[in-house]
C-alpha cells in the first residue's frame, strides 16, 4: 500500500471529525494508499497570519476548509495549493437540486415561537454567532440586515460563541434568543452527536452559500489528483460507503470551481457582526 495521502481538515469541531475519518478511510481503500488525517480546530481564517501554511511546508496533500479560509489563503504571497474541481453535497430541505454548498440556518428556542414569526421579529434580541469572519453566522447575516434596511443596532446584543455547536447550545440554554449556524453542523449536531433538539426550531434558512473547498498540494501528481476526483465522484454510489457518508448528511460529490466564490472575494475584508458598518 503506497504512496501515502495526508489529509487535513479545518472544519472540526463544527463538523464531526468522524466524517473526515470516513473520507480518509474511503480514499485509502479506493486508491490503495496509506491515508492519514490531521485536524486543526482553531479559527481557520486567521490561522496563517501566525502559522505557516502546511501545503507550503509540504506537510499536507489534501485539505478541507470553509469558503472564507479558502479565499484568505488565496491571498498568501506564495501558494502551494490549488482548488480541486469537486466538493461535497449535503442534504438540506432547500437543496432539492442536490448541489454543493450549505445554508445558514437561523435557529431559535421554541419558547419564542409565539412572538417570533419572521427575522424582523428578532429586533432587540440577543444573537449568537461563531465569529466575525464566519460566512454563515456573521457575513451572511450582515447582508440580510442590509437587504432589510437594518444596521448594527438591530440586535440587542451579540455573543461570539466560538463555533457552531456552542451556538446551538446557547440557544438551547436560552443564553441567546437566536443564532445563525452552518446547516451541515446543525444536521450533524442532531444526527451524529445525537443531541436532543426538540426545543429548537429553524426560523429560516439563507443560502445556498458557496461549497466547502477541497484543495490539494500542487506537488501531488496529476494522475493522483484525477484518481482522487474520480474516487470521490463515485463514493456515495458504493452501497457500503454511501450508507456511511449518509450518516453525516453527505449525499454525494459534485463539480466545483473558483466561480463559486467570486461573490465573496471582498467579504474577507469586511468588519464582523459585532461591528457592522454601512
pLDDT, tens only, 60-103: 999 999 999 999 889 888 889 999 999 999 999 999 999 999 99
pLDDT at 272: 58
Task: Report the mean per-residue pLDDT for the chain.
Answer: 90
The structural domains of the chain, ordered by start, are 4-93+212-267 (3.40.190.10), 102-209 (3.40.190.10)
276 pLDDT more than 60: no
Cis before 3? omega within 30: yes
| Angle between helix 164-172 and 183-191 (nearest 10) | 70
21-35, 144-158, 174-188, 261-275: least confident range: 261-275
User: Does residue 32 sit in helix, strand or coil?
Assistant: coil
Residue 132: pLDDT band (50, 70, 90) is confident
160 pLDDT more than 70: yes
What CA–CA distance (Å, rounded) separates 105 from 94?
Answer: 11
What CA–CA distance (Å, rounded) separates 204 from 206?
Answer: 7
Using the CB atoms, write b or e for 167-190: b if 16+ within 10 Å.
Answer: bbbbbbeeebbbbbbbbbbbbbbb
How far apart are the two ends of the chain, measured CA to CA in Å? 56
pTM for the whole thing? 0.90
φ, ψ at 36 (rounded to 5°): -125, 155
What CA–CA distance (Å, rounded) separates 124 from 155?
Answer: 4
pLDDT at 266: 65
Cα–Cα nearest to 8, from 47, 58, 64 = 64
Amino acid at each position: 500500500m503506497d504512496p501515502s495521502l495526508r489529509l487535513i481538515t479545518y472544519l472540526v469541531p463544527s463538523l464531526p471529525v468522524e466524517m473526515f475519518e470516513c473520507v480518509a478511510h474511503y480514499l485509502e481503500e479506493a486508491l490503495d494508499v496509506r491515508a492519514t488525517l490531521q485536524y486543526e480546530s482553531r479559527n481557520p481564517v486567521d490561522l496563517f497570519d501566525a502559522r505557516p501554511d502546511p501545503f507550503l511546508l509540504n506537510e499536507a496533500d489534501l485539505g478541507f476548509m470553509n469558503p472564507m479560509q479558502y479565499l484568505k489563503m488565496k491571498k498568501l504571497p506564495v501558494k502551494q495549493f490549488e482548488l480541486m474541481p469537486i466538493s461535497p453535497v449535503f442534504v438540506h430541505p432547500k437543496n432539492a437540486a442536490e448541489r454543493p454548498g450549505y445554508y445558514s440556518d437561523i435557529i431559535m428556542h421554541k419558547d419564542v415561537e409565539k412572538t417570533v414569526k419572521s427575522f424582523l421579529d428578532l429586533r432587540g434580541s440577543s444573537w449568537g454567532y461563531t465569529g466575525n469572519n464566519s460566512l454563515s453566522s456573521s457575513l451572511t447575516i450582515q447582508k440580510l440586515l442590509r437587504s432589510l434596511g437594518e444596521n448594527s443596532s438591530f440586535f440587542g446584543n451579540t455573543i461570539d460563541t466560538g463555533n457552531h455547536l456552542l451556538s446551538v447550545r446557547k440557544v438551547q440554554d436560552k443564553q441567546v434568543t437566536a443564532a445563525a449556524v452552518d446547516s451541515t453542523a446543525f444536521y450533524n449536531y442532531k444526527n451524529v452527536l445525537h443531541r436532543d433538539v426538540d426545543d429548537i426550531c429553524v426560523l429560516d434558512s439563507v443560502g445556498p452559500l458557496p461549497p466547502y473547498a477541497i484543495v490539494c498540494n500542487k506537488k501531488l501528481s496529476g494522475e493522483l489528483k484525477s484518481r482522487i476526483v474520480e474516487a470521490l465522484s463515485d463514493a456515495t454510489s458504493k452501497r457500503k460507503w454511501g450508507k456511511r457518508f449518509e450518516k453525516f448528511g453527505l449525499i454525494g460529490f459534485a463539480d466545483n470551481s473558483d466561480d463559486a466564490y467570486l461573490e465573496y472575494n471582498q467579504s474577507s475584508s469586511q468588519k464582523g457582526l459585532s461591528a457592522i458598518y454601512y
